Amino acid sequence: MTDLDVRVVTERRLLTRPVALLLLISFGSFVSFYLLLPVVPLYLATGGAGDAGAGSATAVMMGATVLAELVLPGLLSRYGYRTVMVLGPLLLGGGTALLAASPGLAAVLCACAVRGVGLAVVVVACPALIAELVPDGRRGEALGVYGLAVGIPAMAALPLGLWLSLRLGYGPVMVGGAVPALLMLVLVPGLPARPGPAGSRVPLLEGLRGVGIIRPGVVFSATAVAAGVLLTFLPIAVPARSRGVAAVALLAHACAMPLARWAAGRYGDRRGPAGLFVPSVLVAAAGMAGLVWLRSPYAVVAGAAVFGAGFGVAQNVSLALMFERAPRPAFGRVSALWNLAYDGGMGIGAVGFGLLAGPAGYPVGFALTAALVLAALGPAWREQRRERPVMSVR
């Protein structure tokens, strides 16, 4: 093999050392995130906060995430990825530990806000830096692998957190949940010291309005609203004697989501990602509609799994399209915009469903959520028609 061949192979490698470190940091951080995601709303609901209080936990966390995402591109540009990344595991793990300090609603919401800021750092910086480090022709697959790194924790941590809280109590789960994120701090010094793109200093939408990244974000946000509803209220909505079914349903959802996200990345690198947009919306809507039959364990588990598959595909397709259409100096802003759609959608879904579930009931709420996802079918179809198929580069 010649020096040129070695260089070409090296340049096309997907799993370099910096990318591996980013995947590990994402993995550990999301273990802490997912372990408490269904636990905190249930903790508040059983403590007398009601549906509105339960929804406020997810809404406050996602609201803090969104606000942090608005300023993160500028921070990455000024201080660089490695310096800013320290805040991710530190705040996410520290906020998780703070949940055990007091069961009061105000204290829990403050801890959720701290967790939200830490989450914002991880979800903006990690995919943006991965997109910069991998070859253009393998970006969809790289984002799929990133989806596995953040999805595998969901497979174990979503149902495990709920299961452990029912057997050990909330305090041990909250304290133990801080450890995986805090351990990731030892990996941060191994990340590249490179600054974020200079383009991150400009406003988020500057120069991006005409390149076609807004509509994919809007379509994805509709599925994110549904995700916020499922993850926050499914453990509360099922009959009390069926909380084990909710844990199994969350496991099914968590398994389907990253596998679908990875498969969509592989497909998108070869055929173009936009062709999967309409199927992702249809599958996500069908899965959410299945949750209407809350008294049927089979319908609940199947609905959560089907929704997870559609949501996973929508994640990869939307992010791949946005990176594909934006200039490289804008990757930090693109990552922030995509995560705004994700976290803002989840927060809106949690608080909106919390207000709706009381007067309308959970089945009606799930049915309306499915209808909201279906409303994104129009813009998803326009995206699918706009994008031309691409040939594989391999």
In tens, the pLDDT along 136-171 reads 777 778 888 888 888 888 788 878 888 888 888 888
pLDDT above 80 (res 393): no
Where are any strands of DSSP class E within the chain? none
Q: Measuring CA to CA, how many Å separate 263 from each of 158, 326, 354?
A: 22, 23, 33
In tens, the pLDDT along 108-136 reads 899 999 999 999 999 888 888 888 888 87
In tens, the pLDDT along 321-349 reads 888 887 777 777 787 788 888 888 888 88
Cite the DSSP H helix spans in the chain.
Answer: 3-11, 17-36, 39-44, 50-79, 81-85, 87-98, 105-133, 139-168, 170-183, 214-237, 243-271, 277-290, 297-325, 331-360, 362-374, 377-386
pLDDT above 70 (res 268): yes
In 3D space, the residue among 183, 128, 142, 106 whose CA is nearest the CA of residue 316 turns out to be 142
Structure tokens at 338: 């995509």
Q: Mean pLDDT of all residues in the chain? A: 83
Q: Which CATH number fits domain 9-386: 3.20.20.20, 1.20.1250.20, 1.10.3720.10, 3.40.190.10?
A: 1.20.1250.20
In 3D space, the residue among 91, 125, 82, 89 whose CA is nearest the CA of residue 111 turns out to be 91
In this prediction, residues 52-74 reach a mean pLDDT of 83
In this prediction, residues 302-310 reach a mean pLDDT of 96
Q: What is the pLDDT of residue 197?
A: 55
Cβ neighbours around 135 below 10 Å, total: 14
In this prediction, residues 236-264 reach a mean pLDDT of 85
**Tokens 């049927």 identify what position?**
296
pLDDT above 80 (res 86): yes
- Which of 9-13, 133-137, 270-274, 366-370 has the lowest average pLDDT? 9-13
In this prediction, residues 232-237 reach a mean pLDDT of 85
Q: What is the pLDDT of residue 58?
A: 80
In this prediction, residues 4-28 reach a mean pLDDT of 72
Of residues 370 and 206, which shows the higher confidence score? 370
Please tell me the distance from the alpha carbon of residue 93 to that of residue 111, in angstroms, as a whole number.
10
**Tokens 């959970």 identify what position?**
362
- Which of 222-226, 248-252, 334-338 has the lowest average pLDDT? 334-338
- Which of 120-134, 196-210, 372-386 has the lowest average pLDDT? 196-210
pLDDT above 60 (res 392): no
Q: What is the pLDDT of residue 206?
A: 58
Of residues 62 and 92, which shows the higher confidence score? 92
pLDDT above 70 (res 238): yes
Q: What is the pLDDT of residue 119?
A: 93
Q: What is the pLDDT of residue 298?
A: 94
